[in-house]
Structure 1
Amino acid sequence: MGTGHYFWAIFYFASLCSASLANNAKINFREKEKKVLDQILGAGKYDARIRPSGINGTENAPTLVYVNMFLRSISKIDDYKMEYSVQLTFREQWTDERLKFDDIQGRLKYLTLTEANRVWMPDLFFSNEKEGHFHNIIMPNVYIRIFPNGSVLYSIRISLTLACPMNLKLYPLDRQICSLRMASYGWTTNDLVFLWKEGDPVQVVKNLHLPRFTLEKFLTDYCNSKTNTGEYSCLKVDLLFKREFSYYLIQIYIPCCMLVIVSWVSFWLDQGAVPARVSLGVTTLLTMATQTSGINASLPPVSYTKAIDVWTGVCLTFVFGALLEFALVNYASRSDRAADIHKENMKKKRRDLEQASLDAASDLLDTDSNATFAMKPLVRHPGDPMALEKLRQCEVHMQPPKRPNCCKTWLSKFPTRQCSRSKRIDVISRITFPLVFALFNLVYWSTYLFREEEDETF
């Protein structure tokens, strides 16, 4: 029993000693890290205002800064303001020979700072930025890592609203290229050069969801600019967004087609149903105008014609044409009624004249009652109605047969009373309007879908 107690006491004492030594080692390691920081960043030892030297410590060579980023999200793409918002983790890496330190045989991999003003920083800015802010919850989302060889890594999370000039000629069948541009503000290319980091410099979060858009691809490039004060290094990322057409098909194109088709119902209503035809035409016209104004309210007032303008303009023209068609039908109907009244009056006058001539002939026969014989003429007078009728029938039989006309044959199926000009206008409109609208759809979709492929110059 005594031996066991001694054994556990020795084991417990050894454990305490080892824990104490480990804690002392950690304390010593942190103290060494503090000494390294004081050694390289102490007062009078490092000046953050002076830029690092170039490659291999060359004083006249420019400082090379390698850039890469991680796109976390793209929240919106605004067509009216022509801008888009993005949240990204932005990283810069360069070498500062003054920040080299001893890594304590590989135990000290890097030093971490949270204050960017302790070391020299490139004066990079986003040239097409409208608004932007850093993230400070819970702590500022920024860090600086200093490696033993003097390499400095700067990482920060920022949110930006960037300008994106758009060409809306093919809207909503368009593709838009939005750029993210980064440049040096004060250092020229003789002093500072930005380069894309080799091997996938731009990364995008998986399952990126955008409202009404799809990110097809992106491309990194350089965009150095020359001004009166010198040439400045510049980097850019071009993002190609394709607009999702299904939303516009459901919200714009199908409702417009339905309004145009509803306006054609007027052609099948009776000509005497004036209130029904007028209310139908005016209602569809006002609805189409409201739809058009709602579409234009969400778009900037550009000087060129967009694809959606062509569609809504033609649909509005078809609806307005259906209303004008009823006005023409109403006018033709009144003209037909006036012509019918005129014909009835002429027939009545002709019958009165014939009756008067018969009465005169009867009176003449009564006065010549003493005559012994009244001979019938063998040849009728040229003005005799019966002779004219027989002559007309002979001319009809002598004419050669005409080739049948399909349209006239189809129109002749309607009763004679309905084959007036007003009725024929309605019948022709029932065929003409759908055919012309179908032809317009064929030309519209073939033109803009092919132009969409041809104008892709990414």
Structure 2
Amino acid sequence: MGSGHYFWAILYFASLCSASLANNAKINFREKEKKVLDQILGAGKYDARIRPSGINGTATYVTVNMFLRSISKIDDYKMEYSVQLTFREQWTDERLKFDDIQGRLKYLTLTEANRVWMPDLFFSNEKEGHFHNIIMPNVYIRIFPNGSVLYSIRISLTLACPMNLKLYPLDRQICSLRMASYGWTTNDLVFLWKEGDPVQVVKNLHLPRFTLEKFLTDYCNSKTNTGEYSCLKVDLLFKREFSYYLIQIYIPCCMLVIVSWVSFWLDQGAVPARVSLGVTTLLTMATQTSGINASLPPVSYTKAIDVWTGVCLTFVFGALLEFALVNYASRSDMHKENMKKKRRDLEQASLDAASDLLDTDSNATFAMKPLVRHPGDPLALEKRLQCEVHMQAPKRPNCCKTWLSKFPTRSKRIDVISRITFPLVFALFNLVYWSTYLFREEEDETF
């Protein structure tokens, strides 16, 4: 066997020895971790029921921070929202100090929360909630050499969010996440927000109908008959996306109102067409209104969408009433025309009868009226006064009356006036509505 073979054999043996030593070192290191855990959490050495004392026996301070992973829904009807977050708490327990083996042991990791003392924090506005256990429970506890404890868990919550819907759907909503101590008063336990970015939000957070504009952390300590309790809160400001409601509600309502105006351009005698058009638009508008209200809670105040749908419904109903007025005026015009025709027929008949009498009675004497009246005649004097008045005060031409005089019947005049009045009033309503609610939205934006 040559010297080269001896060299490779020695190198191979050395590598086996180093691997064995490394494995033994790891085993020994894990053994040391086990010894440390047994040393600080062994039976009779640590009681998880006892609260760790703070500095000089004061209250225990717990710093809190969280990471918002997702906000799945915001329910207007139930006034609640669902959120998934990673929740973290950190405090110091002097009983859990240990030797870090010259910096090699950075922290100990536990997956059983009941092994150490835990703050009794709860979410005060929570409706439902659950932990995540797939594939393993999403929770860990890290114990650091100086006795600091870090608790982290992933949870999903459904939280109450009281909403003010007066400006719906041009509104902004503030939904809170409140956390408080259930049993320990501020003399024993105090919650604090972690300094420097205590709340983090996942990038590209997507919400179907809302946008998360900003959030604010604050304190909300509460006093009860049993004492004062520490409380933390996060206020989330959501802005409702208006484009969805513009396409689904506002534009269809405008179209229905405009379609109801087509009745003004139809012939007065087209009764079935005008009635069916008015009734159809009215029923469609009523269905649209009921569908909108079905997705909202029954509140005692008037919402912005109620004003819009109510006025649109009034315009559609007004178009139907306008046809009823036109129909009545048309029948009245027809009745007057018939009366005038009968009067003309009677006058013509009386004139014919008088001419027949004149032709048959050739010996009749006639009382001739004077062709020229004397100046003192009352009739001549009245006629002269009327002429003087007309000459002194000439009439000014009235554009509206002149224009309306082109349409001989009252029913036609009503249709023509409605063609102008309804669009003008609706345009004025839109101007007032949007200026009022958009301005109030900016005015009421408080956070």
TM-score, normalised with respect to structure 1: 0.90
User: In the TM superposition, what is the alpha-carbon distance from 1:406 to its structure 2 partner?
Assistant: 2.1
Provide, for residues 155-208 of structure 1, a one-character-per-residue CA deviation record: whole Å limited to 9, x for no partner. Answer: 000000000000000000000000000000000000000000000000000000
Distance 1:388 1:143, change over 3 A: farther
2: CA distance, partners of 1:373 / 1:165: 98
2: CA distance, partners of 1:232 / 1:146: 27
Contact 1:71 1:202 in 2 (8 A): yes
Q: Secondary structure at the residue paired with 2:46?
A: coil
Q: Secondary structure at the residue paired with 1:89?
A: strand
Contact 1:170 1:452 in 2 (8 A): yes
Contact 1:57 1:97 in 2 (8 A): no
User: In the TM superposition, what is the alpha-carbon distance from 1:413 to its structure 2 partner?
Assistant: 3.4
Provide, for residues 124-151 of structure 1, a one-character-per-residue CA deviation record: whole Å limited to 9, x for no partner. Answer: 0000000000000000000000000000
1: CA distance, partners of 2:247 / 2:312: 16
Q: Residue 113 in 1 paired to residue 102 in 2? A: no
Q: Secondary structure at the residue paired with 1:316?
A: helix
2: CA distance, partners of 1:133 / 1:373: 116
Contact 1:188 1:231 in 2 (8 A): yes
Provide, for residues 61-98 of structure 1, a one-character-per-residue CA deviation record: whole Å limited to 9, x for no partner. Answer: xx000000000000000000000000000000000000
Distance 1:100 1:401, change over 3 A: same
2:339 aligned partner: 346
User: In the TM superposition, what is the alpha-carbon distance from 1:57 to its structure 2 partner?
Assistant: 5.8
Q: Secondary structure at the residue paired with 1:20?
A: helix
Provide, for residues 292-311 of structure 1, a one-character-per-residue CA deviation record: whole Å limited to 9, x for no partner. Answer: 00000000000000000000
What is the percentage of aligned positions where both structures have the same residue?
98
User: In the TM superposition, what is the alpha-carbon distance from 1:346 to its structure 2 partner?
Assistant: 6.1
Between 114-123 and 392-401, the greater mean CA deviation after superposition? 392-401
User: In the TM superposition, what is the alpha-carbon distance from 1:405 to its structure 2 partner?
Assistant: 1.9
Query: Which of residues 431, 439, 453 in structure 1 aligns to 2:442?
Result: 453
Contact 2:170 2:438 in 1 (8 A): yes
1: CA distance, partners of 2:346 / 2:373: 19
Provide, for residues 393-423 of structure 1, a one-character-per-residue CA deviation record: whole Å limited to 9, x for no partner. Answer: 968964743222222222233467xxxx111
Q: Secondary structure at the residue paired with 1:452?
A: helix
Distance 1:20 1:286, change over 3 A: same
1: CA distance, partners of 2:121 / 2:365: 134
Provide, for residues 82-125 of structure 1, a one-character-per-residue CA deviation record: whole Å limited to 9, x for no partner. Answer: 00000000000000000000000000000000000000000000
1: CA distance, partners of 2:161 / 2:70: 16
Q: Residue 142 in 1 paired to residue 116 in 2? A: no
User: In the TM superposition, what is the alpha-carbon distance from 1:457 to its structure 2 partner?
Assistant: 1.3
Contact 2:131 2:138 in 1 (8 A): yes
User: In the TM superposition, what is the alpha-carbon distance from 1:281 to its structure 2 partner?
Assistant: 0.2
Q: Secondary structure at the residue paired with 2:268?
A: coil
User: In the TM superposition, what is the alpha-carbon distance from 1:456 to its structure 2 partner?
Assistant: 1.1
Provide, for residues 305-328 of structure 1, a one-character-per-residue CA deviation record: whole Å limited to 9, x for no partner. Answer: 000000000000000000000000
Q: Residue 204 in 1 paired to residue 201 in 2? A: yes
Provide, for residues 259-312 of structure 1, a one-character-per-residue CA deviation record: whole Å limited to 9, x for no partner. Answer: 000000000000000000000000000000000000000000000000000000
2:433 aligned partner: 444
Distance 1:54 1:353, change over 3 A: closer
Between 155-164 and 395-404, the greater mean CA deviation after superposition? 395-404
Contact 1:92 1:155 in 2 (8 A): yes
Provide, for residues 319-364 of structure 1, a one-character-per-residue CA deviation record: whole Å limited to 9, x for no partner. Answer: 00000000000011111xxxx6666666667667766776776677
Distance 1:382 1:117, change over 3 A: farther
Q: Residue 375 in 1 paired to residue 368 in 2? A: yes
Q: Secondary structure at the residue paired with 2:4?
A: helix
2: CA distance, partners of 1:433 / 1:413: 21
Write the mapping of 1:98-109 to structure 2, written as runs, cut at 5 A. 98-109=95-106
Distance 1:277 1:382, change over 3 A: farther
Contact 1:66 1:94 in 2 (8 A): yes
Q: Secondary structure at the residue paired with 1:28?
A: helix
2: CA distance, partners of 1:446 / 1:50: 61
Contact 2:407 2:413 in 1 (8 A): no
1: CA distance, partners of 2:336 / 2:114: 102
Write the mapping of 1:284-303 to structure 2, written as runs, cut at 5 A. 284-303=281-300
User: In the TM superposition, what is the alpha-carbon distance from 1:22 to its structure 2 partner?
Assistant: 0.6
2: CA distance, partners of 1:370 / 1:15: 162
1: CA distance, partners of 2:230 / 2:206: 32
Superposition RMSD on alpha carbons, in Å? Answer: 3.3
User: In the TM superposition, what is the alpha-carbon distance from 1:211 to its structure 2 partner?
Assistant: 1.0
Distance 1:407 1:354, change over 3 A: closer
2: CA distance, partners of 1:172 / 1:75: 20
Distance 1:342 1:392, change over 3 A: farther
Contact 2:176 2:235 in 1 (8 A): yes
Q: Secondary structure at the residue paired with 2:215?
A: strand
- Segments of 5+ residues of structure 1 without an aligned counterpart are none
2: CA distance, partners of 1:88 / 1:274: 63
Between 84-93 and 352-361, the greater mean CA deviation after superposition? 352-361
Contact 2:170 2:240 in 1 (8 A): yes
Q: Secondary structure at the residue paired with 1:308?
A: helix
Between 385-394 and 177-186, the greater mean CA deviation after superposition? 385-394
Distance 1:307 1:371, change over 3 A: closer
Distance 1:283 1:382, change over 3 A: farther
2: CA distance, partners of 1:347 / 1:9: 135
Q: Secondary structure at the residue paired with 1:5?
A: helix
Distance 1:220 1:387, change over 3 A: same
Q: Secondary structure at the residue paired with 2:301?
A: coil
Provide, for residues 206-243 of structure 1, a one-character-per-residue CA deviation record: whole Å limited to 9, x for no partner. Answer: 00000100000000000000000000000000000000
1: CA distance, partners of 2:407 / 2:157: 70
Q: Secondary structure at the residue paired with 2:90?
A: strand
Q: Secondary structure at the residue paired with 1:27?
A: helix
- Segments of 5+ residues of structure 2 without an aligned counterpart are none
Distance 1:127 1:279, change over 3 A: same
TM-score, normalised with respect to structure 2: 0.92
2: CA distance, partners of 1:136 / 1:356: 105
Contact 1:73 1:208 in 2 (8 A): yes
Distance 1:388 1:265, change over 3 A: farther
Distance 1:414 1:386, change over 3 A: farther
Provide, for residues 381-402 of structure 1, a one-character-per-residue CA deviation record: whole Å limited to 9, x for no partner. Answer: 9999999999999689647432
Q: Secondary structure at the residue paired with 2:159?
A: strand
